[in-house]
C-alpha cells in the first residue's frame, strides 16, 4: 500500500492507495492548521508518523505540491501559498525520520498526469497532455511513458503562457477570473435578460447549467473560454507535438459547452499533421487524480 499526499493551499489530503489505484481511506487536514500549529514541516512529519503507525502496510509515500520543485526532486523551490517549505530538504528530512519508507515528491499537475497514466481509463496511453483547469491552470505531460519535466524540472507551467488577450491563460480561464468575466458580461445591456441574473453565487457548474438551458450569456462565456483554451493548446501542441489531450479540473464539467470553440481554434491554426489523429477528451479521475498520481510516483520506485 502507498500513502498518497496531495498538498494544496487550502487542505492537505492523505489517501491510502492500493497498487491498482483504489483509495481505501482518505483524510483531510487544513493547511492553515499545519502552518499555524507546529509549522508545516513538523506537522507533516507528525501526521505521516501517525498514519504509518496506523497503517504499517504502507511502504512508500508520494507527495504532490502546488509549486515548483528542484530538478533533483529533493525540495520545493517556489510555493507562495506555503512560504516556509521553500528550499527545505523535505525528502531528506522524511527519509531520515522514516528510514524504512520510500519518499518521492512531484508537482501536483504532473502528479495528475501520472495518475491518469497509471490509473485512468486511458491507462498507459504513452504520450498525452493533461490540462488541469481549476482555480489555477496547470498541465502534466507523459511522453513515451515518462513524465516530461522540461529542462530544469518545472516545464508545462501552461497557465502562465500568454494568450491573444495579452494576459496569461490562468488569468482568463482560472475559475475566479472566469466568474469575474461572466459578471462583467452580465453588466452589459445585451445580457440584461440573462437567466444568470437570478443566481446569487456563480460557479462553473451554475454557468454550465444555464448554458444547457440555452442562456445566451452562459453560452457566450463558454465560447470565450473555449477559444482561449483552444488557442493556448495550439501553442502547446506546436511546442510539444502531442495530439492526445485530456481536460480535467473544475471547469471540465462544462466540456460540451467549451469544446466547439476549442476545436475550432485548433482546426484554424493547426495543419492536418497535428489534427488528423488528434484526441481531445475528458480526464477520467476527477478530483482524485493528484492523490493517485502522488501514489503513482511510488509505483515506479517499489
List, in order, residues 6 or more apart from 37 with CB less than 8 Å away.
Answer: 43
Measured from the CB of residue 141, what is the shortest distance to its own copies in angstroms? 8
Q: Which residue intervals of the chain are DSSP H helices? A: 31-36, 40-54, 90-97, 108-119, 170-173, 175-186, 204-212, 216-240, 255-269, 272-275, 289-301
Measured from the CB of residue 24, what is the shortest distance to its own copies in angstroms? 34
Which lies closer to its own copies via its Cβ, residue 16 or residue 169?
169
List, in order, residues 6 or more apart from 174 with CB less than 8 Å away.
Answer: 134, 135, 136, 137, 159
Which lies closer to its own copies via its Cβ, residue 38 or residue 161?
161
Which lies closer to its own copies via its Cβ, residue 3 or residue 139?
139
CB contact burial 88-112 (16+ within 10 A = b; e otherwise): eebbebbbeebeebbbbbbbbbbbb
DSSP β-ladder status, 137-143 and 146-148: antiparallel
Which cell numbers hold the place of 254? Answer: 462544462
Measured from the CB of residue 273, what is the shortest distance to its own copies in angstroms? 5
Question: Measured between alpha carbons, how far is 279 from 287 in angstroms, rounded to an integer?
Answer: 22
Measured from the CB of residue 232, what is the shortest distance to its own copies in angstroms? 8
List, in order, residues 6 or more apart from 69 with CB less than 8 Å away.
Answer: 75, 76, 77, 105, 106, 107, 153, 154
Measured from the CB of residue 283, what is the shortest distance to its own copies in angstroms? 17
DSSP β-ladder status, 76-78 and 102-107: unpaired
Which lies closer to its own copies via its Cβ, residue 4 or residue 136?
136
Which lies closer to its own copies via its Cβ, residue 92 or residue 167?
167
The residues binding its own copies (CB under 8 A) are 68, 77-78, 127, 141, 143-144, 149-158, 160-166, 168, 231-232, 234-236, 238-243, 269, 271, 273
Measured from the CB of residue 235, what is the shortest distance to its own copies in angstroms? 4
Distance of CA 81 to the CA centre of its chain: 16
Which lies closer to its own copies via its Cβ, residue 116 or residue 231?
231
Amino acid at each position: 500500500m502507498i500513502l498518497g499526499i496531495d498538498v494544496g493551499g487550502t487542505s492537505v489530503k492523505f489517501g491510502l492507495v492500493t497498487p491498482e489505484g483504489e483509495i481505501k481511506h482518505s483524510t483531510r487536514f487544513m493547511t492553515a492548521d499545519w502552518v499555524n500549529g507546529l509549522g508545516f514541516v513538523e506537522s507533516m512529519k507528525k501526521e505521516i508518523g501517525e498514519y504509518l503507525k496506523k497503517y504499517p502496510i504502507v511502504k512508500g509515500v508520494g507527495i504532490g505540491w502546488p509549486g515548483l520543485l528542484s530538478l533533483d526532486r529533493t525540495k520545493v523551490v517556489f510555493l507562495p501559498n506555503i512560504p516556509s517549505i521553500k528550499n527545505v530538504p523535505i525528502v531528506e528530512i522524511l527519509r531520515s525520520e522514516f528510514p524504512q519508507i520510500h519518499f518521492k515528491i512531484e508537482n501536483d499537475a504532473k502528479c495528475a498526469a501520472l495518475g491518469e497514466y497509471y490509473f485512468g481509463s486511458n491507462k498507459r496511453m504513452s504520450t498525452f497532455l493533461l490540462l488541469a483547469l481549476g482555480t489555477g491552470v496547470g498541465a502534466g505531460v507523459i511522453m513515451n511513458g515518462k513524465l516530461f519535466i522540461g529542462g530544469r524540472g518545472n516545464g508545462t507551467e501552461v497557465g502562465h503562457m500568454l494568450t491573444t488577450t495579452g494576459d496569461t491563460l490562468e488569468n482568463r480561464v482560472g475559475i475566479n477570473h472566469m466568474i469575474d468575466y461572466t459578471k462583467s458580461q452580465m453588466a452589459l445591456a445585451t445580457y440584461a435578460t440573462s437567466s444568470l441574473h437570478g443566481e446569487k453565487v456563480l460557479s462553473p457548474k451554475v454557468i454550465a447549467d444555464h448554458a444547457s438551458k440555452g442562456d445566451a450569456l452562459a453560452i457566450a462565456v463558454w465560447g470565450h473560454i473555449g477559444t482561449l483554451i483552444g488557442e493556448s493548446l495550439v501553442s502547446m501542441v506546436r511546442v510539444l507535438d502531442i495530439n492526445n489531450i485530456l481536460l480535467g479540473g473544475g471547469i471540465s464539467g462544462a466540456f460540451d459547452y467549451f469544446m466547439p470553440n476549442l476545436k475550432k481554434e485548433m482546426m484554424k491554426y493547426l495543419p492536418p499533421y497535428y489534427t488528423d489523429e488528434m484526441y481531445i477528451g475528458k480526464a477520467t479521475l476527477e478530483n482524485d487524480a493528484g492523490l493517485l498520481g502522488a501514489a503513482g510516483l511510488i509505483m515506479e520506485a517499489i
